[in-house]
Amino acid sequence: PLTRPRSSSCQRMSYPPPPDFYRLYAPPLASGEGGAAAGGSAHAPPPGPPPPVKGEYTVFGSGHSTITVEAPFEQSKLYRSDVDLRLELKRLNSEVLRRFTALTLNLAEVPSQYARRVEEIALLCNNLHHLLNAIRPSQARATLEHVLREQVRQKREKVEELRGHAAAAAAAMAGAPADFVHTVEVATAATTATAAPNWLARGNSGVRSQSAAVEGGEERMQIDG
């Protein structure tokens, strides 16, 4: 199969870049179009991403919507939606602790009033749960923004590291003899020119072998049936 080794850092990424072999699945260019060969071996650039979906859409047979609708809260609402929700969460959490302390005192002094305290704590917990569900979209956006910023920071660090190595290599080559520099440039150009066609050829052969294996399995299934 056509695979590529992945580093441990890439495996830990939440949104890794697409694999290199996705270029093999682009439709081939026609003969003579864009310098393509007669056999149609050249490939068109991959298509761009589809436009963002707005409204209703279907994924694996399940309907979804991009419009977030807050579920109605059928109990008494103990928080305000027009203020900082983080402060409301802290306030409700502190209120739960106070009501729990009152419950323990009632169990020791007035056991007959425990049911009322339990109902109060249950109402506060339900408000906390509903408020947490209401801020999930904001949490998801903040998480995605943090992940993307972290990826940009890591890529910039790698680019700066590569630039530093390139500058060091250029400084080392500056003191080398002229014929040695010319030999290195010729060898680098030849390696670059032959690496991409060989990689595409290996990828196409892997795809063809996978297709042959699938067709052979289908024929065996028909014979067995």
The predicted structure's pLDDT at residue 35: 46
- Give residue-wise pLDDT tens across range 42-66: 566 666 778 888 888 888 888 888 8
Q: How far apart (Å, rounded) are the C-alpha atoms in residues 164 and 85? A: 46
- Give residue-wise pLDDT tens across range 61-113: 888 888 877 667 777 888 887 888 888 989 999 999 999 999 998 888 888 88
Buried b (16+ CB within 10 A) or exposed e, 90-121: eebeebbeebeeebeebeeeeeeeeeebeebb
3-state secondary structure of 63: strand
Q: How far apart (Å, rounded) are the C-alpha atoms in residues 219 and 83? A: 66
User: Whole-prediction pTM value?
Assistant: 0.43
- Give residue-wise pLDDT tens across range 177-213: 777 777 777 877 877 666 555 555 555 555 455 455 4
Contact between 41 and 55 under an 8 Å Cβ cutoff? The reply is no
Query: CA angle, 52 as apex, 48 and 54 as ends, to 5°?
Result: 155
The predicted structure's pLDDT at residue 2: 47
Q: Is the pLDDT of residue 6 over 60?
A: no
Query: CA angle, 37 as apex, 33 and 38 as ends, to 5°?
Result: 95
Query: Distance between alpha carbon 219 and the CA centroid of its chain, in Å?
Result: 38
